[in-house]
Structure 1
Amino acid sequence: MGKPIAMRTSLLSRRAVLLSAMILGFAAPQSCPAAGYEVRVVSFDRVTLEDDFWLPRLRTQRQVLVPYAFEHTGEALADLAAAGELLAGDTPAELPPPHRFRTSDLYKVVEGAAYLLAIDRDPALEAQIDRVVEVVAAAQEPDGYHGATRTLYPHLAIDMMGDGRYAYVDHSHELYIVGHLYEAAVAYFHATGKRTLLDVADKNARHVRRVFFEGDAKYNHGKPVLRAPGHEEIELALVRLAEATGDPIHLDTAKKFLDIRGVTYVPDGEGVNSPSYAQQHRPVAEQRKPAGHAVRATYLYAGMADVGAKLGDDRYNAALDAIWEDIVDTRMHLTGGLGAVHGIEGFGPEFELPNADAFDETCAGVGNVLFNWRMFLLHKNAKFLDVAEVALYNNTLAGVNLAGDRFFYVNPLAADGFRPFNHGHAGRAPWFGTACCPTNLARLIPQVPGMMFAQDDEGLLACLYASGRTRVTIHDVATEVIEETAYPYDGAVQLTLRPEKPVRFALRMRVPTWTTDRFVPGELYKYAKSESPRVDVFVNDKPVEVTTANGFVSIEREWSAGDRIRLELPMPVRYSTCREEVEANRGRVAVTRGPLVYCAEAADNEAHTSTYMVPPSAMTAETEVSPAAINGHSTRAITVKAERLTEKGDLEATPLRLVPYYAWNNRGVGSMAVWMPDNAETLRAGALVVDDNAKRFASAKASQTFAGDTEAALIDGLLPSHSFDTSIPRWTSWPARGEAQTLEFELAEPTPLRTVEVYWYDDHGGVQTPARWELEVAEEGAEWRPYPLYNTDAYGVDQDQFNVVHPAEPLTATRLRLRVWPKPDAAAGVLEFVVRPESSR
């Protein structure tokens, strides 16, 4: 690990060239009979980055993020190892507890690591992956089934998994897991030529096809299961597998999974069991609006685009086009974030786009990139690249800190700096129990260079901008392409062409939507001042007149070695407004420059960010754009003329400093805001509303309380700094070691629950985090019943954070009961018990 990144064309082989058939949905190899996309992408391993923005991130990926992710997916590897031992006839020393999906996270890390190998073959990293592959292969059952938990517990009734293999595919994640296995296998095969993992994937895919569409005597009484998975992923992964193996049977299986969704089975329930949660409310070709869980949805849309393109079938296109239009017109945050609603981690009603309460999962940002990249390949229109770029630079990159070892699951557009919003953390987390977001970043970022260049029959397209070089063949002429730019901080982009002999072709360069009257495509956002600065194009330093078509300027001519084309994209500071239907943004503006959304952060300003406003006069005043360093990372800051609400209630003129949204929360926990008030009324209405947990409760009672502690400490509203925080009151059951405890809470009024959160006390001695716990709930006039736990949540016992559980269905509680089972030689302790209502700011 730690080698300098160098993407060398000398490493290319047929397998490496086929790396273009990865997560981003590039063209299929000749051996797989499919029409494919008209656009042929220049694969990421054929692009040598030389820039100051993405190249440092790739180094961080290799040196920090991927090794860190391997370390934190050790439990998943242990699951597989135990399954392999059992299949070999041995008895594992200790059976790991059942887990529905964590092996998928390991497969995503393997996939990301394989991409790094394609960039630069690293023997140590390759040997590490080989060891993982050996364990994975040993965990496959003879008939092809692959799922560690079901191998270890074949008939155990498990919540959200049913009582056997494929018994509850709505939420079991069995097909989701093997989808990520397929993508890891394809990536590793293309990077190294090694087939072991690919053969495991191929065998499993044939097993899945047999069980779900043909019938297998060992499953479902021999009848085909004929159900689509609750969490999409296998659909697009099967396309990758078809490309790698050259066998179209896997592409046909992907199509079958698409075509039975919402046809052979439609769930009947609410919340996570509703028909729309997993996009099963109608056949996919008939869907016209985004619905349900945002990650599942974007994976589905990506799979529809892939399957349709590979089969030359356009019957999914009307659905994809309508869904895309609805997203950009009504349901996408300015940052490219999708899935604003917490309860389902997904799409809510039109224009429901809160700021502090935004969910915008990092994985959904990744999904937005994947979906829009494929839409570009399908339609060859740059507006899709513009959405992908905004989602990539803002929502997605915000998901990991600059050091590469702390993460966001949730990506709000405002934070008060006091309450936890990020699955138990007020800021970035070192990891998550549901670790899909860090591992998704592990596999996406290495592929960004593969979004720079593309080709079609007319010539070359420059898509996303970064300094680097590649070598392509255009009309049978080998041509080196060198790109020079300081993007995303500067809009000058120069390409130098070095064909081996003069050749005529069309060179197209993207002119992003942010250069027009709005930041991003769609009708949600427009600039407060609508004029569009001039975009200039120069060929060999001479200005040329060009027009824009489908978001590209195009110059067709005979190109010779040394010819240069320079695109000048103006990058003034711009102020966006939002449609009035979005209640959260009425009377507010957001600051952008180029493709970057900016935010005000407490670390740069004197007061809480909710006390500032950017009046209309600031939008015409001079702004300062200056180099800045955040934890050693070079970026650009913007300073605007603003006004601040003082403690006396007066307004005073003051500068307001903003940094790129992707870089926030790298300097500790504090307040943050993207959308700033532009008038005093909005400012005064929203300034510093502090969430008061104590007011939500009428009482708290415990079955046992130590004489030096209090029940009142459970709900006093004082937030701990860590689990051994002795500066605030606490509740403990000391000296009752190993005895189950019950904590009962009466709410001040019926409360629609968003989350329930527990912060455990642990003194590393007699009081420790418990062995386990669970909740019960009572609604008005009703008896106690089990708390309906959200399908990817668990009753966590992590230290130094709130352990958060969401309800799986709309739930208005009057009482809550916490049952705690301490470790045998310890008492239990709680520093704070928190309820977040749906109406929380």
Structure 2
Amino acid sequence: MKKISLLLLAVCTVSYASAQKQDYPIQPVAFTNVKLTDHFWTSRIETNRKVTIPASFARCESTGRVKNFQMAAERKGKFCTTYPFDDTDIYKTIEGASYSLALHPDKKLDHYVDSMITIVGKAQEGDGYLYTARTIDPLHVGDWLGTERWVKEQENSHELYCAGHMYEGAVAHYMATGKRNFLDIAIRNADLLVRVFGPGKRHVAPGHEIVEMGLVRLYRVTGKTEYLNLAKFFIDERGHKEYNKKSKNVFENGVYWQDDKPVINQDEAEGHAVRAMYLYSGMADVAALTGDKQYLAAIDKIWDNMVGKKMYVQGSIGAVGDGERFGANYELPNATAYNETCAAIGNVFWNQRMFLLHGDSKYIDVLEKTLYNGLISGVGLDGKSFFYTNAMQIRDGFNHPDIERERAGWFTCSCCPTNVARLMPSIPGYIYAQNGKDVFINLFISGTGDMKVDNKDLKITQQNNYPWDGGLAFTINPASAVDMNLKIRIPGWAQNQAVPSDLYIYQQNMSQKVIVKLNGKAIDYKMEHGYAVISKKWKKGDKVEINLPMDVQRVIANTNLPDDAGKVALQRGPVMYCAEWKDNDGKASNIIVPQNAVFTTNYQPELLNGVMVLKADVKAVAVTADGQNVSTQNKTLTAIPYYGWANRGKGEMTVWFPQQVKYVELLAN
């Protein structure tokens, strides 16, 4: 297999076909240049390679997704899955497999992927159109599609959404293998879009964004400015359709599609959360490549709104099940929290891009919180069971239809499992970045990263037991002495900041100062945008050590969040915790965590693939067997990392704990 240096997924920011004059000022270090040795992430990435990707391909076959392409190639049959965007599950799985192939050459997988691409290619129409739900039988297309191409694109047809995922998968495959078979399919389709859409041609604001991100990736590989221009055209089309602006219904007023006003006038995270993340990521890409300052101003405001008023304490977004969307400011209910896994993945994409634009650690703080909590909660430790939604609490006797209590192997709409498959192998690409002589260390994962500074090879080796231990060590090995500004992120959570806003804060601040040692001696360092900056001429074997405080923190919510009033959430390092039925006598909804509760920690290697467990003496509400008496009793609370819940069966779970009882609601069921 031809080996090609890779920059993929949210970390793809360099043009391979043409030198671009303008781009993100900060560039990530490609994940193919990063080798991991830690347990936490290598085990997950290996599980993704050995279990998730094969299972995704198998389910694409068994559920008819592959058959749709085969019928489209024959131009006959009946579309046999539920949603017209089911094509994307194959594209996303090919993308994840390509990332895996880049790190682990596998002839069998390589051959299988090629066989899938052949099937996809045969379904493509002569002019480049590729969309099985229409091609199979254009006269009988169902309610989601119009009788002609594109006529329902702004609503539910998802034709451009399918194209965007195809482009993402095709670029990944080309960069991993050097083969053009999938890339050429994507280019033929993109060339069709260029002929159809644009000034003086057809106008549309894509109903489900991602084609914008995909077109940018094709532009980076091909150098065709038409693709970048079309991405910007699609973004600028938003806000021009006639809606009922007076309606409070998000479908009637355009908010659901982020289409109620032009993007440069938007200042609030709104509508379908996954679509929003893809739109804001696309805006960041186009802004970086064109210098569009109005885009930058808009996404800066939108980010502030989301992090300050619309994000759950464990990094999840999209609170409302009706439309899988953002709610109003401070609308963050626990009992009905939706929190789609795809939205968390999109949140990682967007925050990486915001960091590449601005170089501020607050974006990585949000990325890390999402990554370690609200994202990986979406995939079971077995690698083949998933959550579409990610609950904040599960109570016996409360069964909201949107809230999943147990993981499933697949869904009728299975966007989340295949999205996980493509994200997981790219995680090493989020660790390091650089801007000339500025080298950023953003995530703390043991292993090595290779890059060049001043045209000299540089290897950074990390040694740690993160996220369970705050001791970090970095060995710097340049080929020869080099002047460099090493910028190590000091996480907000280690600086008494639960999130980079006042939405959540620590109930009591930590007093420890983060100490940085260089070659064994504590040094004074300057802080810039959340980074400890060490500027010097670095020599081979220079070593930096940092010890981040790992206190158990009580997190309290802004007073505008009524569901969390009088309650605390538990955080240790980047990890949020929950109580689950399995460890707490079958219940989690009856636990009271008094202000004087003292927490102890204990690493349990046999539990949930190895986790740090929190314990404390607390109170629990008890009801007698006859249901006639209520009392409190002493209890030992056991809390596990939030991401690990529902791996041991179905039962109660909660993230927020009352600190005292103010009243008791009596339920007779």
Q: Tell whether the structures are fold-level matches, with TM greater than 0.5.
A: yes
Residue 147 of structure 2 is matched in structure 1 by 163
8 Å CA contact retained: 1:355, 1:584: yes
Q: Which of 458, 461, 465 is 1:482 aligned to?
A: 461
Q: Structure 1 residue 418: deviation in Å?
A: 5.2
Q: Which of 202, 205, 208 is 1:231 aligned to?
A: 208
Q: Structure 1 residue 97: deviation in Å?
A: 5.8
Rounded Cα–Cα distance in structure 1 between residues aligned with 2:32 and 2:425: 9
Residue 166 of structure 2 is matched in structure 1 by 181
1:255 aligns with 2:232: yes
Tell me, what secondary structure is at the counterpart of 2:497? coil
Residue 620 of structure 2 is matched in structure 1 by 644
Residue 558 of structure 1 is matched in structure 2 by 537
Rounded Cα–Cα distance in structure 2 between residues aligned with 1:477 and 1:97: 53
Rounded Cα–Cα distance in structure 1 between residues aligned with 2:215 and 2:260: 23
Residue 52 of structure 1 is matched in structure 2 by 39
Tell me, what secondary structure is at the counterpart of 2:522? strand
8 Å CA contact retained: 1:28, 1:310: no
Tell me, what secondary structure is at the counterpart of 2:493? helix
For 1:375-432, what per-residue CA distance to the aligned partner results, in whole angstroms no more than 9, with x for missing partners? 0001000000000110111110000010111110111110015555676853111110
Residue 128 of structure 1 is matched in structure 2 by 112
For 1:227-255, what per-residue CA distance to the aligned partner results, in whole angstroms no more than 9, with x for missing partners? 11110010011101111112221111101
Q: Which of 593, 596, 601 is 1:617 aligned to?
A: 596
For 1:509-542, what per-residue CA distance to the aligned partner results, in whole angstroms no more than 9, with x for missing partners? 0011101222111110000002442111011111
Q: Structure 1 residue 121: deviation in Å?
A: 1.2
Residue 380 of structure 2 is matched in structure 1 by 401
Which residue identity is paired with 2:367?
Answer: A
Matching of residues 266-277 of structure 1 within 5 Å: 266=243, 270-277=249-256
Which residue identity is paired with 1:563?
Answer: D
Q: Structure 1 residue 96: deviation in Å?
A: 3.2
Identity %: 36
Rounded Cα–Cα distance in structure 2 between residues aligned with 1:160 and 1:85: 22
Residue 198 of structure 2 is matched in structure 1 by 213
8 Å CA contact retained: 1:518, 1:526: yes
Which residue identity is paired with 1:661?
Answer: Y
Rounded Cα–Cα distance in structure 1 between residues aligned with 2:280 and 2:622: 48
8 Å CA contact retained: 1:286, 1:319: yes
Q: 1:399 to 1:117 in 2, by over 3 A?
A: same
Q: Which of 63, 66, 69 is 1:77 aligned to?
A: 66
8 Å CA contact retained: 1:418, 1:670: no
Report the TM-score when normalising by structure 1: 0.76
Rounded Cα–Cα distance in structure 2 between residues aligned with 1:67 and 1:593: 34
1:656 aligns with 2:625: no
8 Å CA contact retained: 1:427, 1:668: yes
Rounded Cα–Cα distance in structure 2 between residues aligned with 1:21 and 1:631: 33
Residue 341 of structure 1 is matched in structure 2 by 320
Residue 626 of structure 2 is matched in structure 1 by none
Matching of residues 621-640 of structure 1 within 5 Å: 621=598, 623-629=599-605, 633-640=609-616
Rounded Cα–Cα distance in structure 2 between residues aligned with 1:129 and 1:421: 40
8 Å CA contact retained: 2:489, 2:532: yes
For 1:286-326, what per-residue CA distance to the aligned partner results, in whole angstroms no more than 9, with x for missing partners? 10011110100011000000011012222201111111111
Matching of residues 87-106 of structure 1 within 5 Å: 96=80, 99-106=83-90
8 Å CA contact retained: 2:164, 2:214: yes
| Structure index of larger Rg | 1
For 1:657-691, what per-residue CA distance to the aligned partner results, in whole angstroms no more than 9, with x for missing partners? 10000000000001000000011116x34x8x68x
1:197 aligns with 2:182: yes
Rounded Cα–Cα distance in structure 2 between residues aligned with 1:670 and 1:424: 13
Q: Which of 455, 463, 477 is 1:498 aligned to?
A: 477
Tell me, what secondary structure is at the counterpart of 2:647? coil
Q: Structure 1 residue 206: deviation in Å?
A: 1.2
Name the stretch that deviates more: 300-309 or 524-533.
Answer: 524-533
Between Structure 1 and Structure 2, how many residues are aligned?
A: 659
- RMSD of aligned Cα (Å): 1.9
Rounded Cα–Cα distance in structure 2 between residues aligned with 1:209 and 1:298: 24
8 Å CA contact retained: 2:11, 2:30: no
Q: Which of 308, 328, 346 is 1:329 aligned to?
A: 308
8 Å CA contact retained: 1:630, 1:663: no
Rounded Cα–Cα distance in structure 1 between residues aligned with 2:12 and 2:152: 29
Tell me, what secondary structure is at the counterpart of 2:651? coil
Rounded Cα–Cα distance in structure 2 between residues aligned with 1:424 and 1:602: 17
Matching of residues 416-815 of structure 1 within 5 Å: 416-417=395-396, 426-618=405-597, 621=598, 623-629=599-605, 633-647=609-623, 648-681=629-662, 684-685=664-665
Rounded Cα–Cα distance in structure 1 between residues aligned with 2:147 and 2:376: 39
For 1:92-130, what per-residue CA distance to the aligned partner results, in whole angstroms no more than 9, with x for missing partners? 5x6636741101111111100100001111111101100
Tell me, what secondary structure is at the counterpart of 1:101? helix
Q: Structure 1 residue 356: deviation in Å?
A: 2.0
The structure, 1 or 2, with the larger RCO (C-alpha pairs under 8 Å, 6+ apart) is: 2
Name the stretch that deviates more: 638-647 or 576-585.
Answer: 638-647
1:244 aligns with 2:221: yes
For 1:424-474, what per-residue CA distance to the aligned partner results, in whole angstroms no more than 9, with x for missing partners? 853111110000111110011111100111111233110111001022111
Q: 1:32 to 1:105 in 2, by over 3 A?
A: farther
Rounded Cα–Cα distance in structure 2 between residues aligned with 1:548 and 1:280: 40
8 Å CA contact retained: 2:231, 2:286: yes
Rounded Cα–Cα distance in structure 2 between residues aligned with 1:71 and 1:57: 20
Structure 1: 5+ residue runs without aligned partners?
1-10, 216-223, 693-841
Q: Structure 1 residue 653: deviation in Å?
A: 2.3
Rounded Cα–Cα distance in structure 2 between residues aligned with 1:492 and 1:473: 26
Matching of residues 62-73 of structure 1 within 5 Å: 62-73=49-60
Tell me, what secondary structure is at the counterpart of 1:225? coil
Structure 2: 5+ residue runs without aligned partners?
624-628
Q: 1:669 to 1:226 in 2, by over 3 A?
A: same
Q: Structure 1 residue 29: deviation in Å?
A: 3.5
Q: Structure 1 residue 655: deviation in Å?
A: 1.3
Which residue identity is paired with 1:46?
Answer: N
Residue 14 of structure 2 is matched in structure 1 by 27
Tell me, what secondary structure is at the counterpart of 1:303? helix
8 Å CA contact retained: 1:409, 1:423: no
Residue 713 of structure 1 is matched in structure 2 by none
Normalized per residue, which structure has more helix?
2
Rounded Cα–Cα distance in structure 1 between residues aligned with 2:271 and 2:384: 30
Report the TM-score when normalising by structure 2: 0.95
Q: Structure 1 residue 32: deviation in Å?
A: 5.1
Rounded Cα–Cα distance in structure 2 between residues aligned with 1:267 and 1:98: 30
For 1:559-593, what per-residue CA distance to the aligned partner results, in whole angstroms no more than 9, with x for missing partners? 11111011211110000000111011001000000
Rounded Cα–Cα distance in structure 2 between residues aligned with 1:533 and 1:332: 28
